[in-house]
Amino acid sequence: MKRYIILLGVAALSFSACKTVRKTQANPAVDHSGKVVAVDDAKKAEKDYALKLLNEIRNNKIDFNTFSAKIGLQFQSPKMSQSANANLRMEKNKVIWMSVTGPFGIEVFRAKVTPDSVVLIDKLQSKVIRRDTRYLQSLVKVPVNFYDLQDLLVGNPVFINGEPESFQNSSDNIQYTLVADAIRNLLTVMKSNTGASYASTSQVSEATSSRTANITYGDYRNLSGKNFSYLRNIVVKENGATTKIHLEYKEPVFDQPVTFPFSVPRGYSEG
């Protein structure tokens, strides 16, 4: 399974300590006469600000036509530790292409993912694997689809459309508890006086699984007018075992022509 490390890393999803918890939905207080008591103005303003900031994060996701980057990858689990490099290319909503190389620049596998298919060329085993996108979920045990993977790779926060169940407000960040179906996401957003607020950490868990996936976004820089995270740290925990993945983006480029060379060598078997 070493050849699938990069897919496990990017498809997998820590959160900061905060202060007082505010429920985003609360019943108004009622006095003894049965009249509704007005909500405290300060609390209402705090809630309005928190929801405004969350909507800004949702509405200001990185948009692009094409994207390419080199990724330095470090992987550590109870069973192994190794490094690899990946060459990533994407065309929005159409294709994710990836080539992963190991020591001495030897290509380990090549992958092509579309909204409805996953094709892997395993160059170590001389094998090609063809699956639908449910294969991504079977690999990582997280309900990720093509579009979630696309967002994660380009640096957008994922699983952020759930209902805000509560929020925690501190001086420099707000942490939201977002719930959608069986998915719970603890999303931390850093405040900014310049209007460039950004997602810092995310912790995703499922009601039906013991697995938690955490991703930390770091080293934000301006790239072609976009606030882009050059560093990602991913931690996956399940049944007492911890897997850590460090992703360092190099030479990221938006909206330049890209190609997706992908052909199965003669003699490869179907896996």
Residue 165 has pLDDT above 90, yes or no: no
Identify whether 26 is part of a domain.
no
Identify whether 166 is part of a domain.
yes
Residue 212 has pLDDT above 70, yes or no: yes
142 band by pLDDT with thresholds 50, 70 and 90:
low
pLDDT at 262: 96
Mean pLDDT of 99-114: 93
Identify whether 203 is part of a domain.
yes
- DSSP letter string, 140-170: HSS---HHHHHHHHHT---S--SEEEEEEE-
What is the pTM (predicted TM-score) of this model?
0.81
Between 41 and 6, name the one with better pLDDT.
Answer: 41
**Residue carrying structure tokens 């530790």:** 81
Residue 9 has pLDDT above 80, yes or no: no
Between 182 and 254, name the one with better pLDDT.
Answer: 254
- DSSP letter string, 110-144: EEEEETTEEEEEETTTTEEEEE-THHHHHHHSS--
Identify whether 35 is part of a domain.
no
Helix, strand, coil shares of the chain, percent, nearest 5, are: 20, 45, 35
pLDDT at 16: 31
24/177 Cα distance (integer angstroms):
10
Identify whether 247 is part of a domain.
yes
CATH number at residue 96: 2.50.20.10
Sequence-distant (6+) residues with CB within 8 A of 168 are 18, 19, 20, 21, 22, 174, 175
93 band by pLDDT with thresholds 50, 70 and 90:
very high
Residue 19 has pLDDT above 60, yes or no: no
222 band by pLDDT with thresholds 50, 70 and 90:
very high
Identify whether 36 is part of a domain.
no
Sequence-distant (6+) residues with CB within 8 A of 197 are 53, 56, 57, 189, 190, 191
Identify whether 22 is part of a domain.
no
Least confident of 5-9, 45-49, 188-192, 211-215: 5-9
90 band by pLDDT with thresholds 50, 70 and 90:
very high
Q: Per the structure, how many domains does the chain have?
A: 1
Domain that residue 209 falls in = 2-13+42-261+265-269
Answer whether 92's CB lies under 8 Å from 66's CB: yes
Q: 28-86, pLDDT tens digit by residue? A: 444 444 444 455 677 788 888 888 888 888 888 999 999 999 999 998 989 889 899 99
Identify whether 142 is part of a domain.
yes
Between 26 and 190, name the one with better pLDDT.
Answer: 190
Mean pLDDT of 114-131: 95
